[in-house]
Amino acid sequence: MAEIKIEKKKPVWPWILLILIIIVGVYIYWSYNDNIENQNETEIVTDTIQEMNENYNETPVDTTTMEMEMDTTTVQ
């Protein structure tokens, strides 16, 4: 002979909440990592420009000797 029991359904909302928390957590983690990478790129570009300027300032070009040599050859 038959017996059919009934039971309470398990609520779904805790699982939905957990999934949302995970999604938000992953989003925050990616955003944080993205910001760190952007900061590193800015530092590299700034360092490179500064290095180029320093090199340029350290090696000035001597133009006086070149003018004197040119005058001597045209007199004849």
Partner 1 sequence: MKNEEKHLYNLNELSDYKVASDDPDVRGWDVRDADNRVVGKVENLLVNKNLKRVVYLDVHVDNTIIDAKHDPYGRPNHIDIREFVNKDGENHVIIPIGMVNLDKANKNVLAAGIDHRTFSETKRYQHGTPLNKEYETVVMNSYNRQVPPENVYEDDNFYERDEFNRDRYSKKRF
| Binding interface with partner 1 (CB under 8 A) | 1-9
Q: Which is nearer to partner 1, 12 or 49 (CB)?
A: 12
Distance (Å, rounded) from C-alpha 9 to C-alpha 19?
20
What spatial distance separates the first Cα and last Cα of the chain, rounded to whole Å? 134
Rounded CA-CA distance 21/29 in Å is 12
Q: How far is the CB of 11 from partner 1 (least distance, A)?
A: 9
Instruction: State in angstroms the smallest separation of the CB of 35 from partner 1.
Output: 45
Closest to partner 1 by CB, 10 or 40? 10
What is the amino acid identity at position 43? Answer: E
